[in-house]
Amino acid sequence: MQICTVITTSYYAQAYSLLQSLLDQEPEARLVVCVVDFDQRLAGRLHPRLERVPLEALLPDREERHRRLFRYSPAELCYSLKPLILRHVLRTEARAVYLDSDIRLYHPLAQALVPADILLSPHSSVPLPEDGCRPNNRDFIECGSYNAGFVAVRASPAAEAFLAWWGHVLQAGCLYEHCADQPWLNLVPLYFPEVTLLRHPGCNLAYWNLHARHLSESSEGLRSNGQPLIFVHFSGYDPDRPEQLSRFQNRFALDSQPLLRRLCDEYQRALRTAPAIPQGARYGWGRLASGRAISGAMRRFYHAHPERFPEPFRPGFEAAFLSAWGREIWRERLQRRLPWLGRWLGEAP
């Protein structure tokens, strides 16, 4: 079994924390990581048990790689690469497990995994209370029944078909406003009957299932509903706001969860003590050749009209794109001030 993840350079502390928690359980383990904007200054700081996969290994076609790099924000890009890194690992391993980098292990993962070609983790197996808090049951409808921070597959025709399908739809269907990669997993039980659900109460503990999980500690270690606590997903946790469990929820206060508060404080320390990223490092694909920052609005305009432009990050792209982008801004302003004229100009060739 091989664990893998995808990050930007800015998330190296999270990946380092994940690796350290993995090594605490399995000292000979390694973590396969794709750093999509790898900073060469980071090379000497990589943990020896961290195996880096270049982005080019996942997206060998340069034009496809550049189009995806421009189309997606850093987070969207990482989400879209999950099926690709799983396929990469399965070339040499019998089983691959994707974990988001903001996860920590507390018992060996193998204790909870069941034999399955495709293994998904439900956000919750118990309905959320209708208490006016977030997340709520409608959030699961909109953003997915399964949490895409954990996906496990084993080498099989079913897993290969699933990863090929998921990888295909994420080429252009991984926008954050549509909850990125996650809602697609709702279709997996319909399209791939080989899927199995991971229902172990010690797996993927997070703000979305705390209402149905009871944390405790015994001489055998941390427990969730009486079973070993395998891993916690610190989604939305900010080490600069340690009093808050997650920016995505308002149901649970850490002051009322002392054991969980301890785990969050330990996670904060793990992030603080991880090797620092190079000073001044910023997302490596966030600017045009001239140095101009690529805004979210630019990415969405390109997403809507990719066929109009040459390959991003290549000579000729910036001038062609900014010219079209400027016309688009001009049209939008006209539409706000003179709706009838803006509509006419929008329809004109």
- CATH number belonging to domain 2-273: 3.90.550.10
Residue boundaries of the structural domains of the chain: 2-273, 296-347
Q: What is the pLDDT of residues 220-232, one digit of tens each?
A: 899 999 999 999 9
pTM: 0.93
Q: Are 147 and 208 a contacting pair, CB within 8 Å?
A: yes
CA–CA dist 91, 57 (Å, integer): 12
Which of these ranges, 111-120, 147-156, 338-347, has the smallest mean pLDDT?
Answer: 338-347
Q: What is the pLDDT of residues 274-321, one digit of tens each?
A: 988 877 778 989 999 999 999 999 999 999 999 999 999 999 999 999
* Residue closest to 173 by CA, chosen among 86, 72, 26: 72
Q: What is the pLDDT of residues 146-157, one digit of tens each?
A: 999 999 999 999
Report residue 319: phi and psi, to 5°.
Answer: -65, -45
For the chain, strand residue ranges (E) read: 2-7, 31-35, 50-52, 95-99, 103-105, 118-122, 146-154, 195-197, 215-218, 221-224, 227-228, 231-233
Residue located via tokens 């994420």: 170
CA–CA dist 175, 181 (Å, integer): 8
Q: Which two tokens stand for residue 297?
A: 């609005």
